[in-house]
Amino acid sequence: MRSPAQNGGRRLTRRGLLGGAAGLAGAAAGGSVKADSLLDVPPRGPGAPLSATSERSRYVHLARTPESTPGMRPVDPSVAINSKAPIDKLVGSITPTDLHYERSHSGVPDIDPAQHRLLVHGMVKQQLVFSMDDLRAMPTLSRVAFLECTGNGWENWKTASPDVTVQNTHGLISTNEWTGVPLSYVIDLIGVDPRSTWMLAEGGDGSAVARSIPLTDEIIAEGILAYGQNGEPLRPAHGFPLRLFLPGFEGNLNIKWLRRLKFGDRPFMTRWETARYTQLQADGHARQFQLRQDVNSVITSPSGMMQIRPGYNRITGLAWSGHGRIDRVEISTDGAKSWREAQLAGPKLPKAQTRFQADWVWDGKPTKIVSRSTDDKKQVQPDRAAFIARTGTNALFHYNAQQTWAIDQDGKVRNVLQ
Amino acid sequence: MSFNSTLAFGIAALLCCSDSATAAEFGRPATAEEIKAWNIDVAPDGTGLPDGQGDVARGRQVFEDNCSACHGAKGEGGFADRLAGGRGSLATDHPVKTVGSFWPYATTLFDYVRRAMPYPAPQTLSDDDTYAVVAYILNLNDIVPADAVLDRSSLPRVKMPNRDGLVPDREFSVITNSRQHQGRKP
């Protein structure tokens, strides 16, 4: 393998010539030297040996950011409560498995699948224990869908820090392909009493996270007892060996390290649906069982802490809705005064992130850019003023107001409320 | 093929091939003993509460030995959440959500402490000590008196200050599905 030093002399010369041209929006992994003439492109040669698993290029730097409560970052991973996906650096709509956002309430348990069991009981004909072999032998279903923590966006409830990236504001969402046993199959198999309307799902983590799942037709039809993620077994951080996956519903319902399903006829009122994941409104009441992730979108480039230059800039971002498919994304480059339709690039799957893009020529004057999405149920992402007027600023979870990025005369992009 | 038709096709294929499967082919019956060991949730009406009892004085000791290092000597918070106070703050710009100001059910406190606390060693407190530490936290919040003794019959009767503070969303306040109708006798 050729060492990088072999071309060092030429690189140094080039770097000297190029001066300060780095730092543009979208320049994924900075630091590499430009090759303006084809004669500067390094010569070919034999490459590294093949390997059992492939690593990212050493020129690409992608990582999540472990965070604590809003505004506390970065934090030591041992006290982090979530880890946000670098959506400013991702392309397309699928999140690489190792970068899928992470959230847990008592760390990541180390579970031997041979010793993992799922107990199904309560209002059922047969109270059964399944092993992972049992579950893997059942019929399977795969589905590409987003998963979103209800805390996504919580940075901006009261104030907007100017020094945050879109990873900080919106990194608690990811899209993967999930594979497992259809929930409906297990419900039929064990003979769930038709009068059962709620199911408790409980994890094998240290805090035994447990949530009541309403047994609507939609959830019965779309729920998955998932053991696969992007073609391989779940990663431990995402629930290995088994998790519940409910497309479109708040992250915390998608119980990881799943080891118990109990069928009943009312909600169980666990801590995670009373003390947490309920949304305090301005009048002091809290919304409970606000389980669906609402229509949402964010421009990921240009976005917080990037810098752009006058002239052509491509705007791109991600849109999603727990109601269904994204039908339309509009963007504004004049602070929400006028809007035009962005192009939806790539697959438009229901309850999955959809990539959007739009051409834009920046005239160099300070402005604000915003996106707003509409789904196939005609839900429109609200502007911040309307959203806050309705909700107040104390809800902590389920923030889906439009995200505004301000651009100053130097092209610096900053997080603002609106 | 559109995603929806792919999905529909997948489900149809599944139905056609799976009707011969019975529960007997997958899994094994759970024993009563296993269910008892794993069935740890406690409902607002007290279903799931174990035998045993605990009082505030014992609870203070349990709390100092197992909880105060993270939650503060009187539950005022520290490394981990504040557990007491905050009454009257929910409609202000700085709401303080604690067991006393926000939790609607005392049974949830028993359920949560039993399943998840103390954080480094969950499910190690005895049932008596769990009742006791729950009594202590409720007393710190002026919800039960200093001489309170809690057990499976008294705990569900504790009325929490924010009992009516949570409003279920309309979409999930009454759950119906087509299976209910299938099950109904004509």
Structural domain boundaries in chain A: 65-287, 296-416
Q: Do A269 and B44 touch (CB under 8 A)?
A: yes
Q: Do A105 and B116 touch (CB under 8 A)?
A: yes
Q: Is A206 on the interface with B (CB under 8 A)?
A: yes
B127-140 helix and B56-66 helix, angle to the nearest 10 degrees: 100
Q: Compare all CA atoms of chain B with the CA of A134 and give the residue at the minimum distance.
A: B26
Q: Do B115 and A208 touch (CB under 8 A)?
A: yes
Does residue A277 come out as left (phi exceeding 0), alpha (psi in the -120 to 50 range) or beta? left
pLDDT at A32: 58
pLDDT digits (tens, 9 = 90+) for B19-56: 445 555 899 999 999 999 999 999 999 999 999 999 99
pLDDT band at A70 (very low <50, low <70, confident <90, very high): confident
> Sheet holding A279-280: strands in order across?
A279-280, A286-288, B166-168
Nearest Cα to A333, choosing from A296, A308, A380, A366?
A366
pLDDT at B185: 47
pLDDT digits (tens, 9 = 90+) for A232-282: 999 999 999 999 999 999 999 999 999 999 999 999 999 999 999 999 999
Strand-pairing partners, residue A361, are: A312
Between A11-15, A383-387, B70-74, the lowest mean confidence (pLDDT) is in A11-15
pLDDT at B39: 98
CATH 1.10.760.10 fits B40-172, yes or no: yes
Q: Is B45 on the interface with A (CB under 8 A)?
A: no
| Average of per-residue pLDDT values in chain B | 89
- Report the Cα–Cα distance between both ends of chain A, in Å, rounded: 51
Q: Which residues of B touch A324 (CB under 8 A)?
A: none
pLDDT tops 80 at residue B16: no
Q: Is B20 on the interface with A (CB under 8 A)?
A: no
Torsion (CA) B135, B139, B144, B150 in degrees, nearest 10: 10
A65-287 fold? Sulfite Oxidase; Chain A, domain 2 (3.90.420)
pLDDT at B78: 92
Q: Are A123 and A193 in contact (CB under 8 A)?
A: yes
Overall size of chain A counted in residues? 418
pLDDT at A166: 98
pLDDT digits (tens, 9 = 90+) for B123-154: 999 999 999 999 999 999 999 999 999 999 99
pLDDT at B186: 40
pLDDT at A39: 93
pLDDT tops 90 at residue A14: no
Neighbouring C-alpha atoms within 13 Å toward the C-beta of A193 = 15
- Which residue of B179, B184, B185 to mutate against A (max A Cβ within 10 Å)? B179
pLDDT band at B8 (very low <50, low <70, confident <90, very high): very low
pLDDT band at A34 (very low <50, low <70, confident <90, very high): confident
pLDDT at B24: 57
Residue A148: exposed, middle, or buried by beta-carbon count in 10 A (0-12, 13-18, 19+)? Answer: buried
Structure tokens given for A4: 């990088």
CA A318 to CA A145: how far, in whole Å? 13
For range A124-151, the mean pLDDT: 98
CATH architecture of A296-416: Sandwich (2.60)
pLDDT tops 50 at residue A7: no
CB pairs under 8 A between A and B: 180
pLDDT tops 90 at residue A43: yes
pTM for this prediction? 0.91
Nearest to B108 among A271, A287, A350 (CB): A271
Nearest to A290 among B18, B116, B169 (CB): B169
Secondary element (H or E) of residue A82: strand A82-84
In degrees rounded to 5, what are phi and psi of residue A56? Answer: -70, 155
For range B107-120, the mean pLDDT: 98
pLDDT tops 90 at residue A126: yes
pLDDT at B22: 54
